[in-house]
Amino acid sequence: MENIELKRFWEKVKEELIGSLPESVHPWIYSLEVSGYDKGVLSVVTGQAMARDWLKKNHSSQMNKILQTISNDSNARIHIIYDENAAKKIKKEVEKIHKKEIEAKQKELAMENLNFMQSNANLNLKYKFENFVVGANNRFAHDASLAVAKNPAKKYNPLFIYGNSGLGKTHLMQAIGHYILFHTPDLKVKYTKTDDYINDFISNSRKTNNSIENMSKFNKKYTNIDVILIDDIQFIESKEKSMERMQHTFDKLYEKGKQIVITSDRIPEEIPKLTDALTSRFKSGLMVELMPPDLDTRLEIVEKLANYNDIAADDDALKYIAVNFSKNVRELEGAFTKVCAYAELNNKSITLELAREILKCKENIDKLTFDKIADVTSSYYNINMSDIKSSSRSQKISNARQLSIYLCRELTNESFENIGNYFNKKHTTALYAYEQVVKKIKTNVETSTAIKEIKQALKVI
């Protein structure tokens, strides 16, 4: 018998012994520790010599009978051994098993509790910080979100995360929720889509009977929490009554020192008819923007997806997907999923050829050459294409050169070695130029506009 099994068996026998033997011997029964069960002999050890002698002398036949009934073995018998040290040792082991069982149970309960809270808070298990790839495009938003998760209501309140669709707003927001639930499970977290909030509000205010009671229930639901995550606030546009209610919810939570996180696909000023009061409240904490990920980040995202789902794919295939889907992570994931599904259904491995075949709609990007990029960029800056490849250091030309290098990397995923060769530069110079542009995009409107317009001219957006 396994240790645990033996222990359970003994517990059963012991229970019967206690039930049938006189109370005066119960302390001796409790002193017995099981040490083995072999060929019908159940060995039990006691640290008290008296227990062994008394039980053997007065109760052995009754004890054996009990064992025989439980084990269904008419020859089974209990062998009582006196050994002080062994008894102590066994007792310790039993306690250890007990402790382990209790710990396992507690862990299980904690997990159940966490699962319950996660589903209660309306969170998707995939949207955790661990699964969020950090790159230049989202580092600030990520760091701010993590800071909020580590210090709810103490750091940035409200945190307003904005950016185009599919760039990770919901993911980041829910990651905050998961983090808080895991590290401070006594805090109440609630994730709500703005649409759901509005519908809930409307359906509660429409109920004719008990409308006051309904409203107070509604208010409690959204204010008796420690952290509220309100997703896609732009959907509140032009809905005056809902805005009024939202302002009430916001003020109540803020007053009570609760954390508020909001996402939007645009800044508050661009949400139609958003009241000034809400605009200023949304802007009163920290606003962070999510930008489209650069190539390296996109590549890491698909690599992580492949790992997470245990999918083997050729590097070239992953690169192809990352190069071709640059504006929206949801679409990037969609392209990856499509290729995987096709490969699985047709029993093929994920190769560059397969990815090309499935996603051929984007082949125009595939055909982009350095020449084409350099050509379009020089016309944008009104310079000769030969200048861009020259060693001229004039501001305009070196700007155009930096941008071309950035775009070549971004749109073709060629090595910096090859890009450098094309522009008559060392690969370290090409890398430096690329990094400079990555930085400038975030801080310099002129650069980000130029990139956007050149991409439009190249028909990649």
- Which residues contribute to the site for Mg ion (CB under 5 A)? 169-170
Comparing CB distances to ligand ADP, the nearer of 285 and 293 is 293
Comparing CB distances to ligand ADP, the nearer of 34 and 233 is 233
What is the CA 428 to chain-centroid distance, rounded?
36
d(CA 61, CA 46): 18
Candidate segments 166-174, 369-377, 396-404, 417-425, binder of ligand ADP by CB under 6 A: 166-174
The nearest distance, CB 240 to ligand ADP, in angstroms, is: 26
The interface partner of residue 416, options being Mg ion, ligand ADP, none and the CB cut-off 5 to 8 Å by kind, is none
**CB contact at 8 A, 142 and 304:** no
Among 35, 170, 399, 412, binds ligand ADP (CB under 6 A): 170
- Asked if 171 touches ligand ADP (CB under 6 A), the answer is yes
**CB contact at 8 A, 69 and 78:** no
Comparing CB distances to ligand ADP, the nearer of 93 and 196 is 196
- Asked if 299 touches ligand ADP (CB under 6 A), the answer is no
Comparing CB distances to Mg ion, the nearer of 170 and 324 is 170
Question: Could you give the C-alpha distances from 13 to 31, 38, 60, 92, 204, in angstroms and in order?
Answer: 14, 15, 13, 20, 60
- Asked if 389 touches ligand ADP (CB under 6 A), the answer is no
**How many angstroms separate the most distant Cα atoms in the chain?**
112
- Asked if 330 touches ligand ADP (CB under 6 A), the answer is yes
Among 301, 388, 408, 411, binds ligand ADP (CB under 6 A): 301
Candidate segments 103-111, 163-171, 373-381, 383-391, binder of ligand ADP by CB under 6 A: 163-171
- Asked if 177 touches ligand ADP (CB under 6 A), the answer is no
The interface partner of residue 166, options being Mg ion, ligand ADP, none and the CB cut-off 5 to 8 Å by kind, is ligand ADP
Residues 237-296 that bind ligand ADP (CB under 6 A): none
**CB contact at 8 A, 31 and 44:** no
d(CA 93, CA 246): 59
- Asked if 326 touches ligand ADP (CB under 6 A), the answer is no
Comparing CB distances to Mg ion, the nearer of 137 and 170 is 170
Comparing CB distances to ligand ADP, the nearer of 43 and 234 is 234
d(CA 133, CA 121): 23
- Asked if 132 touches ligand ADP (CB under 6 A), the answer is yes
Candidate segments 130-138, 187-195, 400-408, 421-429, binder of ligand ADP by CB under 6 A: 130-138
The residue of the chain with the least Cβ separation from ligand ADP equals: 168
User: Interhelix angle for 370-380 vs 445-457, to 10°?
Assistant: 120
- Asked if 194 touches ligand ADP (CB under 6 A), the answer is no
- Asked if 138 touches ligand ADP (CB under 6 A), the answer is yes
The interface partner of residue 65, options being Mg ion, ligand ADP, none and the CB cut-off 5 to 8 Å by kind, is none
What is the CA 380 to chain-centroid distance, rounded?
42
The interface partner of residue 168, options being ligand ADP, Mg ion, none and the CB cut-off 5 to 8 Å by kind, is ligand ADP
- Asked if 192 touches ligand ADP (CB under 6 A), the answer is no
Among 47, 152, 158, 168, binds ligand ADP (CB under 6 A): 168
Binding site for ligand ADP (CB under 6 A): 127, 131-133, 138, 165-171, 301, 329-330, 333
